[in-house]
Structure 1
């Protein structure tokens, strides 16, 4: 079952359970997926859907931190509730040790020597880590290894 089908099944379950937060979050995700499919006139595969869900989680994290800074705890808690619901559809996050091992393997595989080779390393890692690790943190770790 594809990730889109899983989302649609979860939407039906949320309707039956009358879980408004989950239902609203899933509807938002399905709308974002459908919008991209219509815009690009394609049917999205699971990695593309994962990228959309990951982006949605990141947007909500940013919004929650902004609401916290503005003292709007009610809105921040809504964003965090949506993050929890979205994360149920994402794969298990990688541990720090797993990320480190994957970075080392990618550097060896691409024979990266300096910062100019960063793109090669990221090209190898992105499909393996999509939705499972913060790519910004991964990028910093790669820079540290290539610089040192």
Structure 2
């Protein structure tokens, strides 16, 4: 009952200010003030104010808010513990990049390594790239054989 009276008084005061603003020929501002002033009356008429007043004064509702707060604290606490156990961000990223089965591509390599022809045949040099062109296709052949092609 008190909440409805307060909302009605706020609306009446807002409409009075809107009338004064319209008298000063600021019609756009007056229309905006009138719209804001009608919102509390509309909330009273729909019953929202009564529901809010009953909720705000209800001990059961406040106990419910307390239970929700406790649940949120539990979620936040368990998440913080998970983050501490997982390690730093760089460690998590490195763990995510690791292969699921690192030895899965071993059969495609054929089990033999390319022979090095001295210090000039380091990986990435021109002599190691063009040494044996048939050897470059051995990996592809192994993959095709693996899949039965």
TM-score past 0.5 threshold: no
Structure with greater Cα Rg: 2
TM-score of the superposed pair, with normalisation by structure 1: 0.28
TM-score of the superposed pair, with normalisation by structure 2: 0.28
**Highest relative contact order (Cα 8 Å, sep 6+), 1 or 2?**
1
